[in-house]
Chains A and B, each alone.
Chain A
């Protein structure tokens, strides 16, 4: 299968707008689960307003949240798929800019030193584009994540040492959830990276934070850790918006990678309750949109 850059540009444009407007079904289910288990009156009211907002956004065809985020495009490529990599990057950039200008969307992206906003949601090395590869024949998928800044500012890395063990990892996660409090717009998905190098560990945390609810880490050790941490985080009482209750997080997600004998890194990357993402799957019959 050969991928046409024009189709990529169109998908990049469509994905940004769709992601900002329609929350994935797994997140909607997550809200229902939290609401059913919440006992705090203020927290119940807040969750009800969040659920109402999802409906208002769909009925008024509006953005769920005013934060258009930092645009991230994750490309997953299967076997036997042909594309021009440079043209693909250009097409994504162009689609992202078109969404911003044509909708219009607030461009939330500025130069890190001058703070100049190009009003295209693009800048140096942004949109963020990542690539991964699958053994599935003919697969070509683009996932778009508009990553909100309130929760992205809840990002932390610690190069724990081996003597700190798993206890060090658990303590770090609990302390960062406490530190972040209501600033990261809870209920959240707490993404945790364990292992790797510093940069891989941070990337794992982002993968974990943007994984669908209900999915589990495919490393059994990571899966156990995420189940334990999910229960522990929701026992802290931070609650929706940091105003109390047991709905602090939809879940804690963990991703792992092997690391060095001298290292024990842990990273936290938090996703807010507006856990937006959208996916375009390219097939011979055309582009199919989903989550």
Chain B
């Protein structure tokens, strides 16, 4: 169980060294992305002007306050509360994020599934688990909102944050086919029969 302090962009070799059960803390740039963002990118052909190569994306749609543009708020948005949403809805976007944009790290909650695991294996990527529902804490790791693309999709824009000490985040899925979520799912399914028997269910 190793700890990794990462600053993106990162290369494939570095990501392939990160394994499930390890922890990661991020500093530097982090991109916020969500359902509508990716529907527009991959189903409606919109291209972002951001270079995501070697970068980390987080499944989020933040609470923000519109403020006058300044050095502190270069695009006129101040963070209010920034947290993480359930990743599973965005499963089908992992591979195109990696093949079309070179994304290496996906941060979310609740885990992703088989298609993502295969994409990580083929292309070199990892999934980092934020503890969902702890956004007040997560917000303290956000230094600034530096840039925004697809602003018309607010709050589901493509956000560029700078983060400091973002973590430690548990590595939930890796490029060697490991998934803590799959391990837990298989273990839980194995306990189903005993749970039903305990409830007096006759045949299940």
Contact = CB atoms under 8 A, between A and B. Distances in A.
Interface of A: 42, 46, 49-50, 52-53, 56-57, 60, 62-68, 103-108, 115, 117, 119, 148-150, 153, 167, 170-171, 174-175, 178, 181-185, 228-229, 231-233, 235-244, 272-274
10 contacts: A46-B131, A50-B131, A50-B133, A53-B134, A150-B132, A170-B201, A174-B192, A181-B111, A185-B109, A237-B188
Interface in B60-108: 60-66, 80-86, 88-89
Contacts of B84: 66
Task: Kindly list the 6 A-B residue pairs having the minimum CB-CB distance in the complex, ordered from nearest.
Answer: A66-B83, A57-B136, A53-B134, A63-B81, A182-B110, A274-B133
A66 B60 contact: yes
Contact of B137 (A49, A68, A184): A49
Contact of A185 (B36, B110, B170, B187): B110
B50 interface: no
A241 B140 contact: no
B194 interface: yes
B133 A273 contact: yes
B184 A150 contact: no
Contact of A178 (B80, B170, B189): B189
Given A57-B136, A174-B195, A236 B110 contact: no
A149 B89 CA distance: 11
Contacts of B191: 235-237
A48 to B, nearest CB: 10
Contact of A66 (B36, B82, B180): B82
A150 B85 contact: yes
A65 B83 contact: yes
Contact of A241 (B63, B110, B139): B110
Given A50-B131, A241-B129, A241-B131, A62 B136 contact: yes
Contact of A65 (B135, B194, B198): B135
A241 B109 contact: yes
Given A66-B60, A185-B132, A243 B184 contact: yes
B148 to A, nearest CB: 14
A53 B137 contact: yes
B191 to A, nearest CB: 5
Contacts of A42: 170
A237 B199 contact: no
Looking at A50, A241, A273, the one whose CB has the most chain B CB atoms below 10 A away is A241
A171 B196 contact: yes
A148 B135 CA distance: 13
A56 B142 CA distance: 14
Contacts of A107: 155
B202 interface: yes
B117 to A, nearest CB: 15
Nearest to A107: B155
Contacts of B181: 181-182, 242-243
A98 B36 CA distance: 25
A228 B61 CA distance: 38
Contact of A237 (B80, B129, B184): B184
Contact of A63 (B131, B136, B189): B136
Interface in B4-19: none
Interface in B174-189: 180-181, 183-185, 187-189
B71 to A, nearest CB: 22
A175 B60 CA distance: 28
Contact of A68 (B63, B109, B201): B63
Contacts of A232: 195-196, 198-199
B85 A67 contact: yes
Nearest to A100: B63
Contacts of A53: 131, 133-137
A63 B80 contact: yes
A49 B170 contact: no
Nearest to A148: B133
Nearest to B21: A42
Contacts of B136: 53, 56-57, 60, 62-65
Nearest to A180: B110
B81 A62 contact: yes
Contacts of A174: 192, 195-196, 199
Contacts of A238: 184, 188
A240 B184 CA distance: 11
Interface string B163-176: 00000001010000
